[in-house]
Amino acid sequence: MALMFYLLDKDMEIKRIIETYKSAIWTERYYERGDFELYIPATVEIIADLNFDSSGSTQYIVRADDTTKCAMIESVKISTDADNGNFITVSGHTLDALAFRRVVTSQTTYTGSAAKIIERLITKSIVSPDAVNRAIANFSFKNSIEDSDRALTAQYCGENVGEAVEAISKTIHTGYRVNFDIDNKTMEFEIYEGADRSLYQQDNPPVIFSNDFNNLLTSNYTVSVENWRNNALVIGEGQGTNRVRVEFGEDNAGIERREVYVNEQESSTNGGEITKGAYMQVLYDRGYQACAENRPLRETEADVAPNYGFKLGVDYFLGDIVSVENEYGVKITPRVVETIEAQDDNGYSIIPTFAID
CATH number belonging to the domain at 102-192, selected among 3.55.50.10, 3.40.50.2000, 3.90.1010.10, 3.40.50.720: 3.55.50.10
The pLDDT score that the predictor gives to residue 211 is: 83
Average pLDDT over residues 223-245: 94
| Residue 200 pLDDT | 87
Kindly list the distances between the CA atom of residue 229 and the CA atoms of 93, 252, 256, 281, in Å, as whole numbers in the listed order.
Answer: 30, 10, 9, 20
* Per-residue pLDDT, 307: 67
Torsion of CA 94, 95, 96, 101, to 10 degrees: 110
CA distance 188 to 244: 40
As a whole number of angstroms, the distance between CA 235 and CA 256 comes to 22
Which alpha helices (DSSP H) does 210-343 contain, by range?
A: 276-292
For residue 192, the cross-strand partners are 175
pLDDT at 252: 95
Q: What is the CA radius of gyration of the chain?
A: 23
Write the single-letter amino acid at 14: I
Round to whole Å and give the CA distance between 348 and 335: 23
Tally of CB atoms within 10 A around 331:
12
- Burial of 111 by CB count in 10 Å (0-12 exposed, 13-18 middle, 19+ buried)? middle
3-state secondary structure (DSSP) of residue 278: helix
Tell me: pLDDT of 32 over 60.
yes
How many CB atoms within 10 Å of residue 48? 9
At 85-116, the pLDDT tens digits run 999 999 999 999 999 999 999 988 998 888 99
The CA distance from 28 to 339, in Å, is 5
H/E run at residue 338 = strand 335-344
| 351 within 8 A of 339, measured Cβ to Cβ | yes
Indicate if the pLDDT at residue 225 is higher than 70.
yes
Q: Tell me the three state secondary structure of residue 346.
A: coil
Predicted pLDDT of residue 1: 67
Where exactly are the structural domains of the chain?
5-94, 102-192, 208-225+296-355, 231-292
Q: What is the pLDDT of residues 138-149, one digit of tens each?
A: 999 998 887 666
What torsion, rounded to 10 degrees, do the Cα atoms 143, 144, 147, 152 define?
A: -50
- Rounded to whole angstroms, the Cα distance separating 194 from 131 reads 35
Rounded-to-integer distance, Cα 52 and Cα 8, Å: 12
Q: What does the pLDDT look like over 262-301, one tens digit per residue?
A: 999 889 998 888 889 999 999 999 999 999 989 998 888 8
Least reliable range by pLDDT among 1-5, 99-103, 252-256: 1-5
Alpha helices in 18-86 (DSSP H): 44-50
